[in-house]
Copies of this chain bind each other. A is one copy, B any other.
Amino acid sequence: MGSGGGGAEEVTVVENREWYLAAYAPEGVPTSDHLKLRTVSFSLSAVAIPDQHVALQLLYISLDPYLRSRMSGHEDGLYAPQFPLNKGIEAFGMGRVIRSKDIKFTEGDIVIYPFSPVAEYSVVPSTFLQKVDPTVGIALPDYLGCFGVPGFAAWVGIEVLGKPKPGSNVFISAAAGGVGMYAGQLAKLKGCRVIGSTGSDDKVKLVKEEFGYDDAFNYHTETDFNAALSKYFPNGIDVYFDNVGGNMLEAVLNHVNNGARIPVCGMISQYSKIWTEREGVRNLLNLVGKEVRVEGFMIGSYLHRFGDFAKEMQGYIKEGKISFKHKIYHGIESFLEGIASMFSSTNTGKVILQI
């Protein structure tokens, strides 16, 4: 037990499985050549825990597309630092405190930690821990979804940067993904006409029936994006929430209305290629004639707005106005499969690893 508790010292050593990066994957989807699981012994002795640290048993890990960019071995435009080789992978996660050397945390506390190792156990500094109140009626995985990385990213893109008006024509790519599903619903709640693109007919159905999109198309079957956008946006596009980049962005630029805004959250279609091999966008001149604003963002720069976001989202959740879908991969051994799912159109909703 830690300093928060007191009592006799226990010495317990457990087996701890953790994912680490064995080799960088410059292109393509990372495989078991790059990501490996290993077992290390882990001491739960309070002696082994520094002051202002806690020992965590990890419960959930948020799997987000940006993680892939930290495994490429080169700066690729997201600028998240590369994971060092042979060290454990870190991600936004949730765990239970099992030992504490910080009086603010006691055994059993549920906490969120932005730099959680993808492991069963870890000792982490208490500085960035955020306690979760399990009595407010929000299921634990939801903290990684609507109140986590994707929900906040969707809110920043729509509320802060896109600023659609009632009746605006809004397009969301990766519409059934972790971010897209929230972005589309937030735009609908603002009274917009919302169209999505996604990677399967099932997901088209999902975003229309579950997430309330006005319409959607499957980019694997409607491959002429220009024609698709002509069909779905007879009055042009006012806000494009870009999750994919590349050819879809180029097609959008042929359909933007004057003063359109394009918040860019990510470019998932482009992550698995080095930049010189990425799809070039040839019609940026449309930015001038249509006076378009394109703005990339990282949620870390908007943390001062997190309170506004959480309040708004909590209201929507309580009123049942936001639906969501999590794809939970069970067991730490599923990490690789979960990562791969985000880059193969097979995933729907927010991907979470339950440990």
Q: Which A residues have a C-beta under 8 Å from some C-beta of B?
A: 76-80, 245, 249-250, 264-267, 270-271, 275-298, 301
Q: A275-B283, A276-B282 are in contact. List 10 more A-B contacts (CB 8 A).
A: A76-B285, A77-B287, A77-B288, A267-B288, A270-B285, A278-B282, A278-B283, A291-B297, A291-B298, A293-B295
The answer to whether B288 touches A298, judged by C-beta atoms less than 8 angstroms apart, is yes
Q: How many copies make up the complex? A: 2
A279 with B280, Cβ < 8 A, contacts A291-B297, A291-B298 known: yes
Q: Which of B79, B271, B286, B291 contacts A290 (CB under 8 A)? A: B79
A262 to B95, CA, bound (A): 42
Closest to A295 in B: B293
The answer to whether A245 touches B284, judged by C-beta atoms less than 8 angstroms apart, is yes
The answer to whether B245 touches A289, judged by C-beta atoms less than 8 angstroms apart, is no
Contacts of A278 in B (CB 8 A): 282-283, 285
A294 to B286, CA, bound (A): 12
Contacts of A289 in B (CB 8 A): 77-80, 296, 298
10 contacts between A and B (CB under 8 A): A77-B283, A79-B289, A250-B280, A267-B284, A267-B288, A276-B282, A278-B285, A287-B294, A287-B296, A293-B295
Closest to A261 in B: B295
Closest to A254 in B: B275
